[in-house]
Amino acid sequence: MKIDVLTIFPEFFGQVFDFGIIRRAKLAGIVEINVHDIREYATDKHKMVDDRPFGGGDGMVLKPEPIFAAIENLTGTCDRDAYPAGTRVVLLSPQGKPFKQAMAKEFADDATHIVMICGRYEGVDERVNDLLVTDEVSIGDYVLSGGEPAAIVIADSIVRLLPNALGSDTSAANDSFSGGLLDCPHYTRPADFRGYTVPEVLLNGNHAEIEKWRFEKALEKTRQNRIDLLTGENGEM
């Protein structure tokens, strides 16, 4: 998979993709991630990437021209219907569809090239959304100062679902949301930490009992923290 991120603050990303699972996936050739400065696609002499909103009001809006040029360079076209198969152009936006594990899985399974556009200020000229974007995505019901943290969240959650990204000793199958529940609690050594002990069932080596305990705890945690996952409210089930 190839992931391209468009931003006016490329330095923001620093080494964020150089650790753990993403780093390993990059080294193994499972994913390639590139961060691009939108400003490099601006053609005027001041390299302008934003301008005042038509109709007045606060703040600035990211201009369409550099973003169109960047998308054309990265996908070969500005015609959304002519993108190569497997291409998704994602606009990070609080107005977008909620990003969930199911969406991460769908991207991991179906996409081969994801381009993420990070907005700033009041957002991005709507013509980008209307003409270039295949998926307008929000990472939650709150407003960030820019799309960069959202791009990191989305890239991370997709890469860990790519085949072989997690390595043979780990699996995403028991992670929260994958089976409709939150994950169960986990413990490691020491079995007794300042008098707080690990549940006995985890120490007895009886795998059937351990599985039963894990399921019950996952259910309990889901009931406590995310009842909506069980009741189907918010279209979760």
Triad 127, 132, 136: Cα angle to 5°: 85
93 binds ligand SAM (CB under 6 A): yes
Residue 120 CB, nearest approach to ligand SAM (Å):
5
Gap between the Cα atoms of 212 and 223, Å rounded: 17
Q: With respect to ligand SAM, which residue has the nearer C-beta, 113 or 120?
A: 120
How large is the angle between the packed helices 148-159 and 101-110, nearest 10 degrees? 70
10 near ligand SAM, rule: CB under 6 A: no
Beta strands in the chain (DSSP E): 2-7, 32-37, 50-51, 61-62, 87-98, 113-117, 135-138, 192-193, 196-197
Stretch that binds ligand SAM, among 106-114, 143-151, 185-193, 217-225 (CB under 6 A): 143-151
Tell me which of 22, 38, 116, 118 binds ligand SAM, using CB under 6 A.
118
40 annotated active-site = no
**140 scored as a contact of ligand SAM (CB under 6 A):** yes
- Single out the residue of 123, 151, 126 nearest to residue 137, CA to CA: 151
Check if 72 is active-site: no
Q: Which stretch binds ligand SAM (CB under 6 A): 106-114, 139-147, 156-164, 195-203?
A: 139-147
Dihedral in degrees, nearest 10, Cα atoms 96, 122, 86, 39: -170
Question: Which member of 30, 48, 78, 144 binds ligand SAM (CB under 6 A)?
Answer: 144
54 binds ligand SAM (CB under 6 A): no
Report which DSSP code applies to 124. Answer: B
- Residue of 37, 72, 106, 122 marked active site: 122
Q: Which of 37, 65, 106, 175 is catalytic?
A: 175
In angstroms, how far is CA 230 from the centroid of its own chain?
24
Tokens linked to 178: 């994958």
Q: Pick the binder of ligand SAM from 74, 124, 155, 182 (CB under 6 A).
A: 124
Residues serving a catalytic function are 94, 122, 160, 175
Interface with ligand SAM (CB under 6 A) = 92-95, 118-120, 122-124, 138-140, 142-147, 150
